[in-house]
Amino acid sequence: MHAFDSPRPPRLASLLGYAGLLPFVCAALGVWLTPPGWRPQVLDALLDYAAVILAFMGAIHWGLAMRAQEGDEQALLQLGLSVIPALLGWLVIAADLPYALALPILLGCFVGLYLADLRAVARGLAPRWYPALRLPLTLLVGLSLLLAWLGVLLA
């Protein structure tokens, strides 16, 4: 079976994907465990990392769209939409939004990216194993962002 058609993610992709969760989990826990004076730095680090990962995930869709057949209008749409995660992440950082607003926006972006991932798989642009990797990663990123958001709201 070709790796593209496998239902299971490659081991290295899984290891790297889960390693990429460490900053999310550590920052979310840091919101609850660090002294109050350090929380803004922890939250800023979380927002910065989330924006970087949004840009990274959007770039994956740029690459997937480039694999499509010339003239495939859906792939061209995906190519255009692939820049939105980076722009939204940048906007959250550049606008210096309050944490109580920035965190749910980023959470929504990650959910939207997961839906875009499913669409890419359905169109045959992304490997069949991609949702099996992305679902648990998205759930853990979402849980981390929710935990941090809850920490902000209850502070």
pLDDT of 155: 85
Residues in the chain: 155
Model confidence at 91: pLDDT above 70 = yes
List, for residues 98-146, the tens digit of each pLDDT value.
Answer: 999 999 999 999 999 999 999 889 988 899 999 999 999 999 999 999 9
The whole-angstrom separation of Cα 130 and Cα 110 is 15
Domain segments of the chain as ranges: 22-154
pTM: 0.92
pLDDT of 2: 58
Question: Residue type at 127?
Answer: P
pLDDT of 17: 97
- CA distances 109 to 2, 7, 57, 103, 105, Å, are 31, 25, 10, 10, 6
List, for residues 13-46, the tens digit of each pLDDT value.
Answer: 999 999 999 999 999 999 999 999 999 999 999 9
